[in-house]
């Protein structure tokens, strides 16, 4: 946990530094420190920190890329290279800062190409990964709740929770939709009107699809819980999109709201960076989507052949520790009468720790809880997203003031389209078992 928090903090600090570099004041100060080695003009036009933002995020991206390569094949903490992931924080911070310095020796033209093409592509992959994980989370939550309902002791309370939670999420989605129609869909705001209406239609479509008899026959756990989870998130994305767009068409009353503009911009930027850091850390440690270690998947897989025979897939069975094997042998001996029952009590006080105790220590000696290399690949993609978020349509910003993070039509449309893609991924997760039954015949 400390390791994940540390990497998230580095990403947060790096993002804040990038954002500060967007001010004309910071660019000129840095130019003075570098003895005018770096010019703030690019191709005859003002950069206003474009290349500086790309440099800072490129440096952190290279940092994570190097770590990803160094940690390939590390599956447990007994591997000597695992300390690279969880230790050496002093040298790693020095290396990160050193890479930032090195990037200033790279010509501006490289970062103009990198920022306009490569970083945008990586940012798209980062957003797509987040949407896939969200859909998977919706299914996981629903399956967990259904499993709890099937337990006699907790069926009543979990039934109340699942019904109340589903209704609550739909009510929140409806409330956000009404707010958007009232405040952001006035006359002449065709973009907002279309985005809000399409989001509402898609929410109704996936809700109906999730309870369709054909879908229910294939996946009995499919239902409104998943649709409500996906719907409330996508509605929030749409609300965030219309709430952060520019106000040149007088469609965003939040921009015209009274209050300290600079304070709201600073608070919005910090919240954005905190959200990205948290999302990145969660996505990077999500083993199911990233090929994580099998420590948390110690289930026995049974394959059913065409004749109906069950065969044990030994490749899916995790090797037992000597402690577990010894315990099973003792239980068998006690059951057969060869040993007294007290032998089991004696065995509990010696030897290596129980599996639950080892999991509590979280030392990852048996297996890592997430794929170390993929962890850093996700962080690499997140640096591209931050750079793209800060620099797209940056030419509209002039002067010393802070940039309002995400307040561009590009960022708004990214969120709107992301919501549509999220609906599509969820709909496909429902329809795929019906359309491709052979692929899901387990």
pLDDT 10s digits, 219-246:
777 888 889 989 988 998 898 888 777 7
Residue 349 lies in a domain: yes
At 425 the pLDDT is 92
Residue 309 lies in a domain: yes
At 312 the pLDDT is 39
Residue 28 lies in a domain: no
What whole-number distance in Å separates Cα of residue 247 and Cα of residue 392? Answer: 17
Report pLDDT digits (tens) over 30-68. 666 666 555 555 544 445 567 888 888 999 999 999 999
DSSP, residue by residue, 217-283: HH-TT-SHHHHHHHHHHHHHHHHHHHHSS--TTS--HHHH-SS-HHHHHHHHHHHHHHHHHHHHHHH
Q: What is the dihedral of CA 402, 405, 406, 408, to 10 degrees?
A: 10
What whole-number distance in Å separates Cα of residue 442 and Cα of residue 348? Answer: 38
Nearest CA to 385 out of 55, 115, 133 is that of: 115
Residue 374 lies in a domain: no
Residue 350 lies in a domain: yes
What whole-number distance in Å separates Cα of residue 55 and Cα of residue 62? Answer: 10
The answer to whether 282 and 375 have CB atoms below 8 angstroms apart is no
What whole-number distance in Å separates Cα of residue 390 and Cα of residue 16? Answer: 11
Whole-structure pTM value:
0.67
Taking 50 as the pLDDT cut, the residues of the chain under it are 43-46, 258-260, 287-321, 347-360, 396-400, 442
Report pLDDT digits (tens) over 338-351. 666 655 555 444 44
At 326 the pLDDT is 65
The answer to whether 393 and 410 have CB atoms below 8 angstroms apart is yes
* Half-sphere exposure at residue 172, Cβ-oriented, CA atoms within 13 angstroms: 16
At 270 the pLDDT is 67
CA angle 135, 172, 273 (to 5 degrees): 60
Residue 327 lies in a domain: yes
DSSP, residue by residue, 80-129: TTHHHHHS-HHHHHHHHHHHHHHHTTS-HHHHHHIIIIIHHHHHHHHHHH
State which residues form the domain around 324.
302-357
State how many domains the chain has. 1
The answer to whether 333 and 339 have CB atoms below 8 angstroms apart is yes
Residue 384 lies in a domain: no
Residue 339 lies in a domain: yes
What whole-number distance in Å separates Cα of residue 217 and Cα of residue 351? Answer: 49
At 349 the pLDDT is 46
């Amino acid at each position: 946990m400390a390791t994940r928090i540390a990497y998230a903090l580095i990403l947060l600090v790096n993002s804040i530094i990038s954002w500060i570099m967007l001010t004309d004041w910071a660019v000129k100060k840095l130019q003075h420190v570098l003895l005018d080695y770096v010019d703030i003009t690019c191709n005859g036009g003002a950069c206003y920190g474009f290349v500086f933002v790309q440099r800072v995020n490129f440096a952190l991206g290279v940092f994570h890329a190097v770590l990803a390569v160094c940690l390939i094949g590390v599956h447990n903490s007994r591997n000597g290279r695992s300390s690279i992931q969880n230790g050496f924080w002093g040298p790693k911070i020095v290396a990160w800062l050193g890479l930032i310095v090195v990037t200033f020796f790279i010509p501006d033209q490289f970062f103009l190409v990198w920022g306009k093409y490569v970083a945008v592509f990586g940012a798209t992959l980062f957003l797509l990964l987040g949407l896939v994980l969200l859909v998977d989370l919706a299914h996981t939550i629903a399956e967990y709740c259904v499993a709890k309902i099937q337990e006699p002791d907790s069926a009543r309370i979990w039934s109340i929770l699942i019904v109340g939670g589903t209704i609550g999420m739909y009510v929140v989605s409806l409330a956000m939709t009404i707010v958007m129609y009232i405040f952001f869909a006035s006359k002449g705001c065709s973009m907002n009107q279309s985005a809000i209406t399409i989001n509402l239609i898609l929410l109704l479509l996936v809700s109906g699809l999730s309870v369709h008899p054909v879908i229910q026959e294939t996946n009995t756990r499919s239902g409104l819980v998943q649709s409500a989870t996906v719907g409330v998130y996508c509605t929030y994305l749409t609300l965030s999109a219309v709430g952060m767009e520019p106000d040149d068409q007088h469609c965003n009353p939040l921009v015209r709201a009274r209050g300290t503009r600079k304070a709201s911009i600073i608070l919005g930027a910090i919240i954005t960076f905190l959200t990205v850091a948290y999302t990145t850390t969660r996505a990077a440690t999500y083993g199911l989507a990233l090929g994580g270690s099998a420590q948390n998947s110690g289930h026995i897989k049974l394959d059913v052949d065409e004749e109906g025979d069950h065969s044990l897939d030994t490749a899916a069975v995790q090797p037992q520790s000597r402690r577990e094997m010894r315990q099973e042998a003792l239980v068998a001996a006690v059951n057969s009468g060869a040993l007294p029952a007290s032998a089991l009590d004696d065995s509990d006080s010696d030897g290596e720790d129980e599996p639950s105790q080892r999991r509590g220590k979280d030392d990852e000696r048996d297996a890592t809880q997430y794929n170390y290399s993929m962890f850093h690949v996700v962080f690499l993609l997140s640096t591209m997203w931050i750079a793209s978020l800060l620099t797209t349509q940056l030419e509209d910003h002039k002067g010393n003031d802070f940039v309002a993070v995400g307040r561009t039509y590009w960022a708004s449309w990214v969120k709107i389209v992301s919501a549509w893609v999220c609906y599509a991924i969820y709909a496909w997760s429902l329809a795929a078992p019906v359309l491709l039954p052979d692929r899901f015949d387990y």
